[in-house]
Amino acid sequence: MAEPVTEAGARPGGVLGGCAVARAICDVPDPEVPVVTIEDLGILRHLEVDESSRHVLVTITPTYSGCPAMEAIAQRVVHEAERAGYTCDVQTRLSPAWTTDWISARGRDRLRDFGIAPPPGAASTCSTVALDLHLRQTTCPQCGSTDTEELSRFGSTACKALLRCRSCREPFEMFKAL
Amino acid sequence: MGGPTVATNLLAAQYIQGLADDALVYAQRLGEWVSRAPQIEEDMALANIGLDLLGQARALLTRVGELDGSGRSEDDLAYLRDEREFRNVHLLEQEVAGFGFEMARLLWFASYQWELYAGLRTSVDEVVAGVAAKALKEVTYHRDHATQWVLRLGDGTAESHERMQQALVDVEPYVTELFDDDPASVAAAESGVGVLPSSLEDAVRARVSAVVEEATVALPESARWRSRGGRDGVHSRPMGYLLAEMQHIARSNPGAQW
């Protein structure tokens, strides 16, 4: 399998054949944030259905190296394939590294509707981190105010930070730019 | 042409094992903070940082098992090696000794890992390069977290300033070991698998110095002594207790799956 999807923002590298089983796998929800699918999040990188051998090959990538949801996602993918009458191999690929830029527009909308602020623009790994104590401005997914403050950069899962809105006083989570 | 020789692979495995053991052992230490940090947000932050490191360790240990020809899995390597077979530096095995110490240790280690992974993105070993590119993004958050705390504590109250200053003194003896060029890392740098630890030192020290200065504390002139031996499997007293905690369930239930 040669599959060159590496660009930021790229969709999973093409859904080949087997529409129903492919759809079911694309729609596997993220175990921690079930309003978005693994396709929405860009975790699903490649999906290939071989109708002659009734076999599905799936490639997924973790959001964070230690993301404990990967095993659950792989199990669910295999389950969906088997339910549709296919055998399935799930490969995990680290490179190119996942980025929040791969979250689809639909995924961002669904996160916001669920009360999780979508990630701000692309993460800049290589710029020098400013040394001052800085506040990052994010829009509250509840009331839309930008008068928000960061409570903790590390939230309930590796991929989220914890914030609070100073207008409506509600705490909320934000997908961290990565 | 021909592929890499067995000896080359063994040296590469040793080098990668040092990276993996650093991440694994520090993940284990950071886990001890859960329920004991100054605030619940910090419990989560340190657990998250540990989880990132554990993820890095898993991928790297799996690679070690492939390269050294032993066929050992990540679990075999994490749970069934004895103390002398671990190649982590002493800094990371030291007992949890207060929040200031932890932030000083994290600032040094994350700054080191940042430069390390930045260099390893071009490793000729595809797994190492892949882990490095991914981990670099994670470590950027770790380094930023430690930076924010060192600034807050150093430039905080008289009490927090004094304790942050003492923490930097307490960590100092363990810092130099990060930059020692052991035979495996020299070989890895030559083959293009790794980077020479000593080549990272200036950038790491510059970064830590800038944070420390901004935080109105100071790095000690020089440590009164320095640790060594971790990359050769010679460890300090806390290491055995750490391994006992980390390994006892797996060793008490041989072959168990979870």
Which CATH architecture describes the domain B6-252?
Up-down Bundle (1.20)
> Is B152's CB within 8 Å of A133's CB?
yes
Give the pLDDT score at A121: 65
Q: To the nearest whole number, what is the mean pLDDT of chain A?
A: 83
Q: Which residue of B has its CA nearest to A125?
A: B137
Structural domain harbouring A88: 15-100
Question: Which residues in chain A are closer than 8 Å to B130, comparing Cβ atoms?
Answer: 93-95, 97
Q: Three-class SS of residue A87?
A: strand
Angle CA(B138)–CA(B142)–CA(B144) in degrees, nearest 5?
A: 115
| Mean of pLDDT values over B185-193 | 97
d(CA A54, CA A52): 6
The fraction of chain B above a pLDDT of 70, given in percent, is: 98
| Mean of pLDDT values over B34-46 | 93
Q: Are A32 and A88 within one domain?
A: yes
State the nearest Cα–Cα gap between A72 and chain B, in angstroms: 13
This complex has an ipTM of 0.78
Q: Three-class SS of residue B162?
A: helix
The reply to whether A53 falls in a domain is: yes
What residues pair up with A117 in beta bridges, in sequence order?
A174
Q: Are A90 and A155 within one domain?
A: no
Residue B27 has which token pair? 């993940």
Beta sheet of A148-152, edge-to-edge order: A116-117, A171-175, A160-165, A148-152
The reply to whether A109 falls in a domain is: no
Domains held by chain A: number: 2
* Each residue's pLDDT tens digit, A46-95: 999 999 999 999 999 999 888 889 999 999 999 999 999 999 999 999 88
Q: To the nearest whole number, what is the mean pLDDT of chain B?
A: 95
Contacts of B241 (CB under 8 A, 6+ apart): none
* Each residue's pLDDT tens digit, B106-156: 999 999 999 999 999 999 999 999 999 999 999 999 999 999 999 999 999
The CATH code of the domain that includes A29 is 3.30.300.130
Q: Are A94 and A27 within one domain?
A: yes
> Is B145's CB within 8 Å of A154's CB?
yes
> Is B131's CB within 8 Å of A178's CB?
no
Question: Any idea what DSSP says for residue A84?
Answer: T
| Mean of pLDDT values over A153-173 | 91
Residue B50 has which token pair? 């540990």
d(CA A171, CA A173): 7
The reply to whether A1 falls in a domain is: no
Q: Are A75 and A149 within one domain?
A: no
d(CA B20, CA B54): 9
Contacts of B183 (CB under 8 A, 6+ apart): B11
| Mean of pLDDT values over A19-24 | 91
Nearest to B41 among A96, A133, A162 (CB): A162
Domain range annotation of chain B? 6-252
A103-128 core/surface letters (b: 16 or more CB in 10 A; e: else): bbeebbebbbeeebbbbeeebebeee
Q: Are A149 and A89 within one domain?
A: no
| Mean of pLDDT values over A110-121 | 89
The reply to whether A68 falls in a domain is: yes
* Each residue's pLDDT tens digit, A141-160: 999 998 999 888 888 888 89
Contacts of B249 (CB under 8 A, 6+ apart): none
> Is A68's CB within 8 Å of B136's CB?
no
